[in-house]
Amino acid sequence: MNRSNGLYVIIGVLVIAVIGLGAYIYREESKPQGIEMSIGKNGVSIEQN
């Protein structure tokens, strides 16, 4: 692998990392705030966010 191919690989990895981090942050910020209530096999579960 020559020098320019290595540079393209590094840039590609960095772009993918930035996109992944942005998607993760967006998903965490868009979670609803308040109380989460779920009904399952173990009964009713209530969690405050």
The span from the first CA to the last CA of the chain, in angstroms, equals 49
In 35-45, which positions are buried (b, 16+ CB within 10 angstroms) versus exposed (e)?
Answer: eeeeeeeeeee
Query: What pLDDT shows up at residue 22?
Result: 95
Say what the pLDDT of residue 3 is: 79
Domain count, the chain: 1
Q: What is the pLDDT of residues 35-46, one digit of tens each?
A: 888 898 888 888
Structural domain of 29: 3-48
* Alpha helices (runs of H) in 1-49, residue ranges in sequence order: 3-29
- The structure's pTM equals 0.58
Better pLDDT: 45 or 48: 45
The half-sphere exposure of 38 on its side-chain side, counting CA atoms within 13 A, is: 6
- Scan for tokens 């930035």, then name that residue: 18
What does the pLDDT look like over 1-42, one tens digit per residue? 577 889 999 999 999 999 999 999 999 888 777 888 889 888
